[in-house]
Amino acid sequence: MHLLPALFLLLTASTNAYFTLNSLTTDFQFPLYTVNFTVINSEPGTIQIPTQCELHWPVESICYITCGNLYFARITPDSFKSSADFSIDLAQEVYTLSTIRHQNATVKISTRERGAGYRCNRGGNRCAIVPGSKGFRGEASDGFGLADRGLFCEPAPIP
């Protein structure tokens, strides 16, 4: 058996990868919402380090910002209804032995998804995932090559 082709298939095979968001909080201090969360990609073969990210809304630009040099994130354009109802777009570039893949997902954040444990205070100016809850996750889709550089506010890290 040839070990190198098997290793290549293992590293480049697409599985059901998910971006998982935990420790998510949304704070409102007029006129700005601040969203903090931890993200991790569950796919084997990716760097599975929980990474902290901070987003703000409203913003003038709809480009992705860098989160800890591993992920890119933004509030999904036209999705923000309140701190209890919005979406986050996530992206990650995955470098393998012979190619570059990018993965992306949109994760819906809502107090209506009961299992996520996302709750808001009475005034709605602070929302958070209750400790011990499962958080949110979005299924990642794959593309090959570098992601469109025009989507990023900042240059991508060099592998």
Confidence grade of residue 140 (pLDDT, cut at 50, 70, 90): confident
In the chain, the number of structural domains is 1
Domain hosting 106: range is: 18-146
In angstroms, the CA 99 to CA 6 distance is: 15
Residue 49 covered by a domain: yes
What's the CATH code of the domain at 59? 2.40.350
Residue 86: inside a domain, yes or no? yes
HEC string of 104-158? EEEEEEECCCHHHCEEECCCCCEEEECCCCCCEEEECEEEECCCCHHHECCCCCC
Strand 126-129 and strand 18-29: the pairing is antiparallel
Does residue 12 belong to any structural domain of this protein?
no
Convert the pLDDT of each residue in 72-84 to its tens digit: 999 999 999 999 9
- Sign, Cα dihedral of 73, 78, 83, 85: negative
Q: For the chain, what is the mean pLDDT?
A: 81
Q: Does residue 3 sit within a domain?
A: no
pLDDT digits (tens, 9 = 90+) for 15-65: 568 899 999 999 999 899 999 999 998 777 666 789 999 999 998 778 899
Asked whether residue 13 is domain-assigned, the answer is no
Predicted pLDDT of residue 98 = 75
Answer whether 84's CB lies under 8 Å from 64's CB. no
